[in-house]
Amino acid sequence: MTSDRPDPATVVSDSMSSEEILEELVEGTGINHVEVIETVIASLQQDESAMVSHTQNSYLWKFKYGSVEVFVQLTGQTDEDTFKVWSAVLKLPTKNDAGLMRRLLEMNWSDTFEASFGIFDEQIVVLSTRTVAELSAGEVSRLITVVATIADDNDEALQQEFAN
């Protein structure tokens, strides 16, 4: 039996927006988070930079966006699993840790939308995390885009002002 609808796994068209592609992936009985994440990353990555690591139940993607590397982690597909996006913007320690922390807290209040600045592995990161429960394709797209954009927009200025 043939279908007029394209196979979402093979859709590669300049005429379709990323929103249309995401809608195509979501139609049906349930959302395939892996396919949605890979579609979003494909629309944002530069220089074919995307890489993926897959274990039994989890996935970890890495791709280049502007001057930063962005990581996306999906721990599984159940409601209790997590979807996390992060990107490092500055190594610690800095020449003015107190001033940096104040700046980041101010930015968390006013500039980061659903993301925030945090500390991971002796680095300042932009991150967003949530459970997979009721996670929509639009949320996946927005969270990846927000983290990547905030990290890319702020990494160089933070490094110039605070890096050792």
pLDDT tens digit string along 117-144?
A: 999 999 999 999 999 999 999 999 999 9
Residue ranges per domain, the chain? 8-162
How would you label 43-62 residue by residue, b for 16+ Cβ within 10 Å and e otherwise? ebbeeeebeeeeeeeebebb
Angle between helices 18-26 and 33-44 (to 10 degrees): 170
| pTM for the full predicted model | 0.80
For residue 23, the model assigns a pLDDT of 57
CATH number of 8-162: 3.30.1460.10
pLDDT tens digit string along 26-66?
A: 544 478 899 999 999 999 988 888 999 999 889 999 999 99
